[in-house]
Amino acid sequence: MTQCKIDHPEGLSPCAAGHSARHIHDGRSSSAGGGHFVECRCTKTAKHAAPDAALPSWRQMNRPVRSTRKAVAHVEPDNVLQFKLTIAEPATKRTRVRASAQGGRP
């Protein structure tokens, strides 16, 4: 048999789906598709020539998702006044006054 399982005293971290992982050494030459890889039921790493290269690859594939930072609410200080700085003031609605009410022509 060309493949053998390598046991680690500290154990391997499970995959993102929770499956247990195992380190496998394929005894064939690298040109024939041999090497070290870590696999579970749903995924596996690429084959590596060195046994120490397969473990970081597995950890990188299955590291926990980073949580997003909470947005910090912008707080205005109480002692600052802000004025509307616009080029033109907004047009106010004009009311028509009847001419007869002011004594002019109707």
| Domain assignments of the chain as residue spans, ordered by start | 3-61
Taking the CA atoms of the chain, what radius of gyration do you get in angstroms?
Answer: 36
The pLDDT value given to residue 67: 79
Q: Output the average pLDDT for the chain.
A: 80
Per-residue pLDDT tens digits for 43-94: 889 888 888 888 889 888 888 777 788 877 777 777 777 777 777 766 666 6
**Which pLDDT value is given to residue 95?**
65
Q: What is the pLDDT of residue 18?
A: 87
Give residues with Cβ within 8 angstroms of 6, minimum separation 6.
23, 24, 25, 36, 51
Compute the average pLDDT of residues 21-39: 86
Q: Over pLDDT 90: what percentage of the chain?
A: 6
Predicted pLDDT of residue 91: 64
Count of beta carbons in the 10 Å neighbourhood of residue 62: 19
How much is the pTM? 0.55
Between CA 13 and CA 21, with CA 18 as vertex, the angle to 5 degrees is 45
